[in-house]
A and B are shown apart, each in its own frame.
Chain A
């Protein structure tokens, strides 16, 4: 399996950002009540991830090698700007979606998946092409996890569960089962 394809598959399922690496859990629990909103937020995240991956690569290559202690600050400013651009674009072209996502759209800034992507890409020394593939894998992985969770939660709405479990407790146990399913991919590719 070629390197690029492997990076994609690895971030999409084996090391899924949400279910195995625990990144982006706020939106995973906050916006997964409806399938439609969930996968759209996943796509909005993917766009921000792509913007961030490219910007972070240029920052790493030309600026941060001289001032590594500014890494966290520089990345978060890039992400905040990327989110702002995405927010403006969504507001202009998809006003309905803009209203549906509400507070979770500006909150993409504090989605750890975005900053996590920039940090992992730095520590793994990815080149520009690898970074873009990594961002696509992470974005689709997020979208996959969000949509799966939202579909399960839509069914759970109709289930008769004990009063104690009506809120987040049950959702977390379901997330645990989903994560367990994704653990089945662990070890894939480690033999290469």
Chain B
């Protein structure tokens, strides 16, 4: 059995994460290692549910919940999970929390739950979760793992909310369902359709690259 599982036995991301305070762990996920605009992880929910701010926000918060829960349990069991079956174990921990989040959302906000549809259980397949479990939570203590999960989740929520605000504003002229663009605004329907998702994220990435490039040039000029 060991040989059969050998392909995934060596760590996908080698080395332990450098030491940092809990606050630094939280902040890194929001800024320098933002899952969406920097690492490009978790692309599917990022584009599929960001046509409305309410959906984007709900997806971000649900993912944060799963990230914190999975970080806690992966870190808690990190000395007990055999190396050969660790990916499967992480996936099972994540799937348990996703089921919890799915049922809680369906019980409290049935409208949003229906709007997200299959994308709620699809949080399991968000590479961000497995990526952080493997690269971070499995190698550090519980406080840091939870802090990293929370930071990454918040960074994810922030990007999703920004993206969905942009798309809802341009595509429907509303924010959270309230009209803000005035009656004369002609909705740019393209933005709420699938191609608009790619386009909006492309714009976001281009502006991030532009700002980053300017900052680098300013530093060099000084």
Residues of A within 8 A of B (CB): 19-26, 28-29, 69-73, 76-77, 80, 84, 87-88, 91, 103, 105-107, 109-112, 114-116, 119-120, 123, 163-165, 167-173, 175-177, 179-180, 183
Given contacts A22-B44, A111-B125, contact A164 B202 (CB under 8 A): no
B194 in the interface (beta carbon within 8 A): yes
B8, B43, B121, B209: the one within 8 Å of A71 (CB) = B121
21 contacts between A and B (CB under 8 A): A22-B47, A25-B44, A28-B43, A72-B98, A76-B124, A88-B7, A109-B91, A109-B125, A112-B126, A114-B125, A119-B121, A120-B118, A164-B206, A172-B199, A172-B201, A172-B205, A175-B198, A176-B195, A177-B195, A179-B195, A179-B197
| Chain A residues with CB below 8 A from B194, complex form | 19-22, 179, 183
**Complex-state Cα separation, A53 to B102, whole angstroms:** 23
Query: Which 8 pairs across A and B sit closest by C-beta, in order of nearness?
Result: A172-B202, A176-B198, A25-B43, A169-B206, A22-B48, A112-B125, A179-B195, A176-B199
- Pair B44/A164 contact, Cβ less than 8 Å: no
| Chain B residues with CB below 8 A from A28, complex form | 43
Given contacts A77-B92, A111-B125, contact A176 B41 (CB under 8 A): no
B126, B193, B206: the one within 8 Å of A165 (CB) = B206
B158 in the interface (beta carbon within 8 A): no
Q: Taking chain B's interface residues, is the majority helix, strand, or loop, or is none over half, making it mixed?
A: helix
- Report which residue of A111, A168, A170 has the largest number of chain B beta carbons within 10 angstroms of its beta carbon: A168
| Chain A residues with CB below 8 A from B197, complex form | 22, 176, 179
Given contacts A164-B213, A173-B202, contact A26 B193 (CB under 8 A): no
Distance in angstroms from A133 CB to nearest chain B CB is 19
B69 in the interface (beta carbon within 8 A): no
- Pair B198/A110 contact, Cβ less than 8 Å: no
- Pair B88/A173 contact, Cβ less than 8 Å: no
Distance in angstroms from A155 CB to nearest chain B CB is 18
**Complex-state Cα separation, A26 to B117, whole angstroms:** 20
Distance in angstroms from A179 CB to nearest chain B CB is 4
- Pair A103/B12 contact, Cβ less than 8 Å: yes
- Pair B195/A80 contact, Cβ less than 8 Å: no
- Pair A169/B205 contact, Cβ less than 8 Å: yes
**Complex-state Cα separation, A167 to B202, whole angstroms:** 10
Return the CB mask of B49-93 against A: 1 if under 8 Å, else 0: 000000000000000000000000000000000000001100110
**Complex-state Cα separation, A105 to B8, whole angstroms:** 10
| Chain A residues with CB below 8 A from B48, complex form | 21-23
